A and B are shown apart, each in its own frame.
Chain A
Amino acid sequence: MPIYRRTYRNYDGDPRRHFRWAIIVEQEIRVLLKSKVFLLFLSGTLIHFLLRLLQVVAFDFIMQDPNSPLRPFLVSLTAVVVNDETFFDFIRIQGPLVFVCLLFAGSGMICNDLRNHLTEIYFSKPLTWRDYALGKLMTLVFIGLVFTAVPAIFLTLLHNLMMPGLETIQATWWWPFSILGFSLIMVVPGALAVLASSSLLRSENYAGIMVFMLLLADSAMSGILAETLRRPGFLVLNYGIALNRVGEELFGITFHIVDVPWGQAAGLIAAVSALSLVILAQRVRRAEVPA
């Protein structure tokens, strides 16, 4: 058709003016769900979830049957008993998978837009750098929670539904909050670090490798300091240990995997988050306002 005969209609709609970051979340998830690798990660999580589901259902059925020959055996098996540690362990074990998933989903989120000059197009629309950064962050937080808090809270609810009476609810009402808190502490700083790395580097591979190497270096450094100076307190500098320690505190678990002060552990996580946030904000703002 010749150009002079082509046309398009005028648009006179009332455009949405708020929560534009939610559109970024939707688009990023849409793109991620088309990735086979991401779906593989999701299915990996599903296996762990199904095992935990089996544990909760089996435990609840057996505990309700006073004649079950398995009951005394089950009570003695601490690994199978459903209590606050079950959910702490569930999220803790999900941790590495969440970390890999955040790296996969987030390491290219900003650097690819910068490399492909897409930020110029996005910011020429009524979109602020805050909307943009928040959209990317919320995408990763959403993904992280899907791997951690969502299945764990589902299992908690199932456990409460299957157990008779109100005793279980009264004893476990705070679990969903602990689950959500631990999940957020695991996901948000990780997401911020991955996005900060993505905004600093031009390649998603380098951005992913940088975060991974920083984590390895941090782990090695804290171990070396703790061993050479004979001061186990330095282990709090190990990000993984710090994360678990804060999680233990949130779940009120008294047996600690590594006994370090939880306040210091929380301080380390807050410092990592703050640094990542500053880098992310500066880099994304510079993409919108270069001069």
Chain B
Amino acid sequence: MNGYDGTHATYIPTEGRGDRGHNAMAMIELQDLEVAYGDLKALDGVSCAIEGGAVGLLGPNGAGKSTLMKTLLGFNRAGRGTARLFGLDMPKHALEVRQQLGYMPEQEATSPKVSAVSFLTYVGRLFGMSRVDAMERTHEVLNYVGLGENRYRKMETYSTGMLQRVKLGQALVHDPKLLLLDEPTNGLDPDGRLEMLALIRQVAAGRGVTVLLSSHLLPDVQQVCERVLIINRGRIVRDGSIAELTAAREGQYEVRVRDNPGPFLAGIEAAGCTWRDEQNGSLVITTSDGEDPRFLFEIARAKGTHIRHFLPRRGSLAEAFLKALED
């Protein structure tokens, strides 16, 4: 797509800015951050740095995810520590930071008596756009989030899914470099959820926007993000890539065998291995650490059966999440 002619504002081609989020400076830098509501510490010594990409913020209800989001927006004052976005201290430089940041709140936010077009134009103008620019971008973004012709209807007639799209649209209307999404799939039906996740993935991967996605739905985070921060009781208890957290477990294998597995299982028990039935036709077999798994095939052959499926077992995000909470 070629650029806009610049009558009202300069647009540059999308393709030219695909990597804009991935520079040397960290988008978000938190250092020993503490935020309290009265005596309750909502964030307690949070430290991390996010350079770019899509990052999931996982945690149980009340863990401090939304508080962290609001602190990044400059809504909360830190009792201790620092929060820097784009190299600027928050909340001191909140206005400069908010120029480059989009936020989709968790709660239903709607202006019932106006249409989505009117609402997004207004939001664009609050960002500082001229009326014409705001109107143009509103239509582009509403097309992007898939609101179609419904954009002209009053928002009081919208379904939850449509309102979620409007919320995403208002976060994108000023073309932010950083997008904070708080439970973006709340209240969506399965199709709507998949489409919302696809949109977020496209924003992060296709447009180079850094995304911080807060959710308690692990599959949502797994679908969109490359990295995960697990937060519990106001502290970051795990920080790593999804690949790391779901890495293959040494000595654990996912196995399916033909026919009756009884003799095979007896054989592997005799060889000192343990197993459990995953209830989906698969067995998880745990061998001694470092042992070559080829002996499992020999046992199968000896017991007159065949191994039809054999994979080193990967950990699930759910397991990593639960383990992080336990730790």
Q: A126 and B99: CB pair below 8 A?
A: yes
Q: Which of B3, B16, B70, B105 contacts A121 (CB 8 A)?
A: B105
Q: Which of A7, A24, A118, A121 contacts B14 (CB 8 A)?
A: A7
Q: A10 and B103: CB pair below 8 A?
A: no
**Contact flags B88-121 to A (C-beta < 8 A → 1, else 0):** 0001000110110111010111111110001000
Q: A12 and B108: CB pair below 8 A?
A: no
Q: A8 and B141: CB pair below 8 A?
A: yes
Query: A122 contacts which chain B residues (CB < 8 A)?
Result: 123, 126
The complex places the Cα of A135 from the Cα of B36 at a distance, in Å, of 31
Query: B144 contacts which chain A residues (CB < 8 A)?
Result: 6-8
Known contacts A17-B128, A126-B98, A291-B35: does B111 contact A116 (CB below 8 Å)? yes
Query: B67 contacts which chain A residues (CB < 8 A)?
Result: 291
Query: B195 contacts which chain A residues (CB < 8 A)?
Result: 3
Closest residue of chain B to A8, judged by CB?
A: B140
Closest chain B CB from A180 CB (angstroms)? 29
Which residues 197-251 in B have Cβ within 8 Å of A in the complex? 198-199, 202, 206-207
Closest chain A CB from B163 CB (angstroms)? 10
Q: A125 and B14: CB pair below 8 A?
A: no
Query: B167 contacts which chain A residues (CB < 8 A)?
Result: 121
Closest chain B CB from A291 CB (angstroms)? 4
Closest chain A CB from B264 CB (angstroms)? 45
Closest chain B CB from A26 CB (angstroms)? 8
B170: interface (CB < 8 Å): yes
A120: interface (CB < 8 Å): yes
Interface residues on chain B, number (Cβ under 8 Å) = 67
Q: B108 and A117: CB pair below 8 A?
A: yes
The complex places the Cα of A3 from the Cα of B9 at a distance, in Å, of 26
Known contacts A4-B202, A125-B126, A126-B99: does B172 contact A12 (CB below 8 Å)? no
Known contacts A23-B125, A291-B37: does B73 contact A124 (CB below 8 Å)? yes
Closest chain B CB from A241 CB (angstroms)? 37
Closest chain A CB from B179 CB (angstroms)? 11
The complex places the Cα of A121 from the Cα of B120 at a distance, in Å, of 11
Q: A3 and B202: CB pair below 8 A?
A: yes
Which residues 18-34 in A have Cβ within 8 Å of B in the complex? 20, 23-24, 26-27, 30-31, 34
B33: interface (CB < 8 Å): no
A289: interface (CB < 8 Å): yes
B309: interface (CB < 8 Å): no
B143: interface (CB < 8 Å): yes
Q: B10 and A12: CB pair below 8 A?
A: yes
A-B contact count (CB 8 A): 150
B306: interface (CB < 8 Å): no
Closest chain A CB from B20 CB (angstroms)? 9
A288: interface (CB < 8 Å): yes
Closest residue of chain A to B107, judged by CB?
A: A117
**Contact flags A223-263 to B (C-beta < 8 A → 1, else 0):** 00000000000000000000000000000000000000000
The complex places the Cα of A23 from the Cα of B133 at a distance, in Å, of 14
Q: B95 and A128: CB pair below 8 A?
A: yes
Known contacts A17-B128, A124-B98, A126-B95: does B1 contact A9 (CB below 8 Å)? yes
Closest residue of chain B to A15, judged by CB?
A: B128
Query: B17 contacts which chain A residues (CB < 8 A)?
Result: 10
Closest chain B CB from A118 CB (angstroms)? 6
A123: interface (CB < 8 Å): yes
B32: interface (CB < 8 Å): no
The complex places the Cα of A121 from the Cα of B98 at a distance, in Å, of 11
Q: A16 and B128: CB pair below 8 A?
A: yes
List 12 additional A-B contacts (Cβ < 8 Å) besides A7-B14, A31-B113, A120-B109: A4-B202, A8-B143, A9-B4, A10-B13, A11-B174, A12-B175, A13-B8, A30-B118, A116-B111, A116-B112, A121-B109, A122-B126
10 contacts between A and B (CB under 8 A): A7-B207, A8-B175, A12-B175, A13-B9, A13-B11, A24-B126, A27-B122, A116-B108, A120-B109, A126-B126
Q: B residues bordering A, Cβ < 8 Å? A: 1, 3-4, 8-14, 16-17, 35-37, 42, 67, 70, 73, 75-77, 91, 95-96, 98-99, 101-103, 105, 107-114, 118, 122-123, 125-130, 133, 137, 140-141, 143-144, 146, 167, 170-172, 174-175, 195, 198-199, 202, 206-207
